[in-house]
Amino acid sequence: MILLSLQRLTRKTSKGSWTLTPFSEAFALRINKKKSVIVNISTSHFQSLEWEGPKIEKTTIFRHLGYPLSVNVPAKDKIEWVLCKIKCKMHKWYALQWPLHARIRIVQAFLQPYIMYYPLLLDWKKSHIRIFGSLLKNFLWNKNIIEHWFFQLGSTYVNPNLLGGLGILHLHSHLMA
């Protein structure tokens, strides 16, 4: 990735296009333009620059070495980007198919690093931290999972007030055991 203020490091060729040759000559670098990404931080002629690899405009959030980076992007948009990444990671682990102890291990192994890592990078407010908490609660205590458990419990237990007992359908067999 190359972060450049292109106003000083580019020059116009005889064909009228912009080139980075002064930059590579000045620092004795060979730039692999197919693999490198160029980021516009302050230039007006960014689109006319000859570049084979990807170009990233201002106000675009991108990831470099795990960090969410951007130029002229409000903190709110960066936070939304991070929350979207964490939600996507949570949706990859389909919570309904895992028992509670496995979901706790999933949170500890895969989701906790995200939650411990990203808040250090950005300026979070208390309301954003609550969103993290609700995401974890929804993953661990999913409403669909709770309804599924109650449906399973309904086949063996009933409301004690309805039958005037302990709520066990087959009380006699439990007493015999």
DSSP 8-state secondary structure symbol assigned to residue 4 = E
Tokens in use for 37?
A: 């990404």
Nearest to 122 by CA among 81, 72, 65, 64: 81
Q: How confident is the model at residue 3 (pLDDT cuts 50, 70, 90)?
A: very low
**Spans of all domains in the chain:** 2-58, 73-141
Q: How far apart are CA 36 and CA 38, in angstroms?
A: 7
> 94-116 pLDDT, tens per residue?
777 788 888 888 877 777 777 67
Q: Which residue has the higher pLDDT, 143 or 127?
A: 127
Query: Among candidates 9, 12, 42, which has minimal Cα distance to 27?
Result: 9
Q: What is the largest CA-CA distance in the chain?
A: 98
Neighbours of 86 (CB within 10 A): 18
- Convert the pLDDT of each residue in 146-175 to its tens digit: 555 445 444 444 455 555 555 555 555 555
